[in-house]
Structure 1
Amino acid sequence: MHVRLLTGVLVWSLAPGLWTAPAGAAVGQSQPEEAAAGRAEAYRLFLQGRHLENQGDIEGAVRAYQDAARLDPESGELLAELSSVYARRNRNDEAVAAAREALERDPENQSAHRILGLLFAARASERSGTAEDARLAVRHLEQARETLLSDYNVELTLARLYLQTDAAQSAVDLLEELQKDAPGLSETGMLLARAYEHVGRVGDAVTTLEQVVAGGRPSSRVLRRLAELYGKDGRWSDAVDVYERAVELNPRSARTKRELANALLRADRPARAREVLDELVTLRPNDVYGLYLLSEVELELRNFDAAEAAARRLIEVEPEGMRGALALAEVYSQKREHRRVVEALAPLLENATDRGLRPEQVAGLLGRVGFAYEQLQEYEAASRVYERGVELMPNSLAFGGRLAQAYIDAGRPTDARRVLGGMQEQHRGSLTVTRLEARVLGDEGDIDSGVALLQGALRSRSQQPRAYLVLAAYYGHYERFDEAIDLLESAANRFTDDTSILFRLGAVLEQSGRHMEAESRFRRILDLNPEHAATLNYLGYMLADRGERLDESVMLLERAIEADPYNGAYLDSLGWAYFKLDRLDRAEPLLQQASEQMAWNSVIQDHLGDLMLRLGRYADAIAAWERALAGDGHEVERAAIERKIGEARRQLERQ
């Protein structure tokens, strides 16, 4: 066994006093005796340094290596060994200085390059690390690689640096070569999969990790990464199987259990997801990520009280965080309690700066609060929220479009036009902008110009169903139903299985009084998707309102509510069907709930008034009809409601 000390002139042997000349030197060539004696003493000090370090005498070892380096001034390896001693004791500045001095003596010294590369790589991985640290690490490690046998640590560190410095293809080349030399190493497979992802070869990334998993006993980290890639590809059932293995391998990992629960939820297995999370939060009751996910799972299971409880527990655990408020707001949103959404999120917006919220977080909150105000028909409040959104993100199509829509709904077309004018340059050709411009024209009385604008947009988007829907909605808004029907019939022939086209066509046919044709379109949708909640509601309500096939109507509407149990429109529809069946005890709670949720909806208030009249509760009937008159006025006859109010008052006076 030999320890080789590369001096640039000699290769030292462990046999004392012996040396061999480097390649190209004449064997037996004499050297000055003094130099030979110096090298021999340097070698003795080198061995002494090794011994002292092994005995724990670090300072003694350092002095021995320093003395050896002075005696052999051409040796870079002695200084590289000194650098290694410093590095092993985390004396990194001294290690760098010694390694650099070694390279001054021997620019190709691989030991010095290795130490410098690893030291600079460690610096680059720290928060204070710089791009220059990474560049130097790459330069030195590339030179340290030029050995007959691969240094696994050097190879993997260099691969990580390539990924860090956007040189993913270099990482792929290096790791593919390393995997051929040493197949089956999980760390190599992990990095190679990551490199494949960086260069867009996701399929190869999956295959690589599958091979690692199949090749032996994969680590929990490998399993989690493979499951994550399955999830990104929508293969949630496969992801669940792999996450289950990862949990078995590391049952104490809360993170892995959360990832398993999330995969179960996406794989449409919420009940099993809840089991996993219940176990997690029982063991770790303050696990904020687990509580947030548990609230989401309970919502998926329609356990609204349990979802709210998990959200409130999260707020207790993390009172200054935003996750709990977001989870609670989501519960309220699904329950259509939009006022409570505002109340839950408004404090976050008021203290956004103090909480250190990022702009994208503030934008998300603004979007939720603005939408809640829109659902409450409070368009001025919505516009103020969206104004703040536009100020935060001036080029956002979403905020600009929603602000313009809020202005339109608030009866402020001039302000809407101003916003849209500012969006033209950034979003030229956007169908959203064109739709809103047409609406402004229509509300100002120039309906035909709006039609022309949208027809032009349709000509350039004839392969996009949304372009047909936008123009059809415009026709419908201004009660040009025949044109809407012709357009949608054409679109339905082109996009035969598009449920959005069929639904809009069915709705316009119903609004035109063509009920049989409307029913045909709705039943076509249910053939394609038997659980299409909006269609179940529309068809069920259409039958109930006409007093036809009321038992079927109830069945359809109950299915709609099963999918969306707090939807006020659906609750009103089912309540109206029960009213038509004269099952007033079943109708009342449904119509009351719908009335409270959608106080601005004139039709719903009219329905409740009719129920109260039938029950002989005349004062309640009058109050409901007065709300109908104060509401949006859609699809009601004011004169008819006023007559009903008059009759109820006369009945009230007789009591």
Structure 2
Amino acid sequence: MTNLRHLLAFVLLLPLIAGCASGSRATDRDSKEVYQADLSCSYFYYLWGAHAEYDQRFDEALEAYQKSLICDPAANHIEKKLPVLLFRLGETEKAAELLRAGIKKDPDDISQYLLLAHLSIQQNKRNDAIMLYSEVLERDPTNEGVLLRLGILSVQQGELDKAEKVFKRLIKQNPEMYFGRIYLARLFLMKGKIEHAEQAYEKALDLNWSPELVFEMVEFYQSHERYQDMLRLYQTVLDNDAENEQAILGKIQTLLALEKDEEALAELRRLKRINSNTARLDMAISKILLRLGKIPEAAEVLEGIRSGDTASEANYLLGLIAFQSKLGETALAYLQAIDPSAEEYVDGVYLQIRIMRSLDMHHEAVELLKKATENPKSQTPVFYALLSSIYQEQERVEEAMASITAGTRAFPKNDQLHFEHALLLERSGLHKKALSAMLRVLELRPDHPEALNFVGYSWADQNINLNLAYQYILRAAELEPDNGFIKDSLGWVHYRLGNFDNALEALLHALELEPKDPHIYVHLGDVYRALNRVDDARDAYRRGLEMFDDENEKGPLEKKINELSTQ
């Protein structure tokens, strides 16, 4: 059929071809006849180009239009088609060149400015596009589309004040300009003009209510915790579409934020009547019932959804309910039913370990964690840390070390596992290895406050790398300003650096935060001693001595007190 259509078109155009050919043999004696022949030729190729353009054969259309212009160079309407076709063919530079030439030739043709501006935006030449739109406005000051585009481009260029002027000009010109209000509202948000943004949004909503705009405004009000306004907006959606699930769920979340749990529960139950996914809704209902303290009712709902997609979450919540009711064995039964691939599995195992520890089921806890760490689908850093901690409680140090080491191999970039490894090495008396492990922690997480403090204090205690030790401890104190142990380290490194007044200030602050740590009193005594405040030093040492239980700690401290007695 397509071939037949092309054949018929060719046959119909034969007279035009003949006219074009005869025109080529005409003489100057009849210039009017020659001109008509050129028009016929031009029209033939124009029809050809239009037909090809319609069929999206742009290369062919471009060639036909170019031939049409050869026949009639004055055909401006055809000339202006060329940059459009070049743009469609991806020849943007050539298209832009033709448009610039066209603008010089016909500076009042706005369409050429607009297309060139569009090309400039595509080439990421936004300033050029802004200049072109400004030129259009000089010729057509009330062009709303150009004003809107100019404002948007100004925002993209970070010229917010200029954009504000453009949008305000647009709205002054047409107070009913819906998109002008929306873009102005968004601009006010960017500039932190919250009240202005609210007014612009509300005006836009008055001009043209739509659920899309409502949900955008809801995000705006949510960011400022304007929950009553959120409820008002959600209700406008529900007034138009009572079954709009997004609005219902949004209303429920807002009611929960307002602690209107009973109203949220009523909305959920209403949604359940119109929604087929009742299991997920029952899950949400059970959580609200738990918030309301209606434990038996929540448990009943959860028992009904212990299958399908909600099975693991339901079992976890039922296990949690049983645990809080001190029904350990029942809780374990629920928790053991959680699928290892489920999101709740890690929390479920953690809760099982808590229960097993409380029931002296240490062997079962170890076996559970060994199984969890051996399964690639359920491996997680916390399982290795938990297993190591249980071994440490049982004074099975080698197994504890093996577990945490296996964890660092399985998760080599997990800074917390390396930190736990370092602490275990320190407890085992392997200080050099512990220090090396802590430095590895800082490679993974340079702002780890405990690791910074450990490394800095270790160096200060050894009286090495003091300037770097000070920087580490100072950074740790910035990260955790209320940590008394870090303040103690800061005081100690000041002491090593000879900054005794600063050391005293830091240690007194440390004692305010940790008044029962004997080591801080020892450090304080050393600082008082350096300041030649003998009585204060003696009092600090004695306070520390009273707090120490370890005889190995008491011996050196008693020696310091005796030394002061001779002064």
Q: What TM-score comes out, normalization by structure 2 length? A: 0.50
Q: 1:283 to 1:112 in 2, by over 3 A?
A: same
Residues 1:413 and 2:404 aligned together: yes
- 2 CA distance for matches of 1:388 and 1:157? 56
In the alignment, which of 95, 103, 117 is matched to residue 140 of structure 1? 95
The AA in structure 2 aligned to 1:276 is: L
Greater Cα offset, 315-324 or 189-198: 315-324
- 2 CA distance for matches of 1:309 and 1:262? 24
1:136 deviation in Å? Answer: 4.0
Residues 1:226 and 2:226 aligned together: no
In the alignment, which of 35, 38, 46 is matched to residue 39 of structure 1? 35
The AA in structure 2 aligned to 1:301 is: L
1:254 deviation in Å? Answer: 1.6
Counterparts of 1:570-585 in structure 2 under 5 Å?
A: none
Q: 1:189 to 1:294 in 2, by over 3 A?
A: farther
Residues 1:517 and 2:475 aligned together: no
Contact 1:159 1:175 in 2 (8 A): yes
1:270 deviation in Å? Answer: 1.0
SS in 1 for 2:225: coil
Q: 1:403 to 1:34 in 2, by over 3 A?
A: farther
Paired position in structure 1 for 2:449: 468
Paired position in structure 2 for 1:111: 77
Counterparts of 1:475-554 in structure 2 under 5 Å?
A: 495=478, 501-502=480-481, 504-505=483-484, 517-518=512-513
- 2 CA distance for matches of 1:221 and 1:312? 38
Q: 1:516 to 1:439 in 2, by over 3 A?
A: closer
Q: 1:255 to 1:182 in 2, by over 3 A?
A: same
The AA in structure 2 aligned to 1:259 is: E
Q: 1:316 to 1:435 in 2, by over 3 A?
A: same
Deviations 1:556-588 (A, max 9, x none): xxxxxxxxxxxxxxxxxxxxxxxxxxxxxxxxx
Contact 2:477 2:487 in 1 (8 A): no
Residues 1:279 and 2:236 aligned together: yes
Contact 2:452 2:472 in 1 (8 A): no
Q: 1:82 to 1:106 in 2, by over 3 A?
A: same
Paired position in structure 1 for 2:459: none
Q: 1:492 to 1:440 in 2, by over 3 A?
A: closer
Residues 1:270 and 2:270 aligned together: no
Paired position in structure 1 for 2:247: 290
Q: 1:335 to 1:207 in 2, by over 3 A?
A: farther
SS in 2 for 1:268: coil
Contact 1:437 1:450 in 2 (8 A): no
1:278 deviation in Å? Answer: 1.3
Contact 2:214 2:233 in 1 (8 A): yes
1:469 deviation in Å? Answer: 5.9
Contact 1:325 1:345 in 2 (8 A): no
Q: 1:487 to 1:95 in 2, by over 3 A?
A: closer
Deviations 1:140-183 (A, max 9, x none): 36524523235444444544454445444443443344344444
Give the gaps of 5 or more residues in structure 1: 1-29, 43-67, 122-132, 351-365, 390-401, 424-432, 476-485, 521-655
Deviations 1:454-486 (A, max 9, x none): 57877999xx9x5436656999xxxxxxxxxx9
1:261 deviation in Å? Answer: 2.2
The AA in structure 2 aligned to 1:103 is: Q
Residues 1:192 and 2:155 aligned together: no
Counterparts of 1:556-635 in structure 2 under 5 Å?
A: none
Q: 1:472 to 1:383 in 2, by over 3 A?
A: farther
- 2 CA distance for matches of 1:368 and 1:323? 15
Contact 2:439 2:455 in 1 (8 A): no
1:220 deviation in Å? Answer: 1.6
Counterparts of 1:82-481 in structure 2 under 5 Å?
A: 91-93=54-56, 97-98=60-61, 100-106=63-69, 111-112=77-78, 114-115=80-81, 117-118=83-84, 133=88, 135-136=90-91, 139-140=94-95, 143-144=98-99, 146-147=102-103, 148-164=106-122, 166-201=124-159, 204-206=162-164, 208-217=166-175, 219-232=177-190, 235-251=193-209, 253-307=210-264, 347=309, 376=351, 403-409=380-386, 411=388, 412-421=403-412, 423=413, 433-443=414-424, 445=427, 448=431, 449-450=433-434, 454=438, 466-468=447-449, 471=452
1:491 deviation in Å? Answer: 5.3
Contact 1:228 1:239 in 2 (8 A): yes
1:415 deviation in Å? Answer: 4.2
Contact 2:473 2:486 in 1 (8 A): no
Q: 1:110 to 1:214 in 2, by over 3 A?
A: same
- 1 CA distance for matches of 2:146 and 2:127? 15
- 2 CA distance for matches of 1:494 and 1:135? 59
Q: 1:440 to 1:256 in 2, by over 3 A?
A: same
- 2 CA distance for matches of 1:137 and 1:317? 53
Q: 1:457 to 1:243 in 2, by over 3 A?
A: same
- 2 CA distance for matches of 1:115 and 1:328? 63
Q: 1:96 to 1:493 in 2, by over 3 A?
A: closer
Q: Higher helix fraction: Structure 1 or Structure 2?
A: 2
1:94 deviation in Å? Answer: 7.6
The AA in structure 2 aligned to 1:106 is: L
SS in 1 for 2:480: helix
Deviations 1:426-480 (A, max 9, x none): xxxxxxx44442223324556845556557877999xx9x5436656999xxxxx
Greater Cα offset, 164-173 or 275-284: 164-173
1:301 deviation in Å? Answer: 1.7
1:314 deviation in Å? Answer: 6.5
State the percentage of identical aligned residues: 14
SS in 2 for 1:135: coil
The AA in structure 2 aligned to 1:347 is: D
- 2 CA distance for matches of 1:325 and 1:319? 11
Contact 2:423 2:434 in 1 (8 A): yes
Q: What TM-score comes out, normalization by structure 1 length? A: 0.45
The AA in structure 2 aligned to 1:247 is: L
Give the gaps of 5 or more residues in structure 2: 1-25, 313-340, 354-367, 389-402, 457-468, 489-508, 516-567
The AA in structure 2 aligned to 1:408 is: A
What value does the CA root-mean-square deviation take over the aligned residues? 5.9
Look at both structures and tell me which one has the larger radius of gyration over its CA atoms: 2
The AA in structure 1 aligned to 2:421 is: V
Name the structure, 1 or 2, with higher relative contact order (CA <8 Å, separation 6+).
Answer: 1
Q: 1:242 to 1:180 in 2, by over 3 A?
A: same
SS in 1 for 2:90: helix
SS in 2 for 1:285: coil
> How many correspondences in the alignment?
387
The AA in structure 1 aligned to 2:54 is: R
Q: 1:295 to 1:372 in 2, by over 3 A?
A: farther
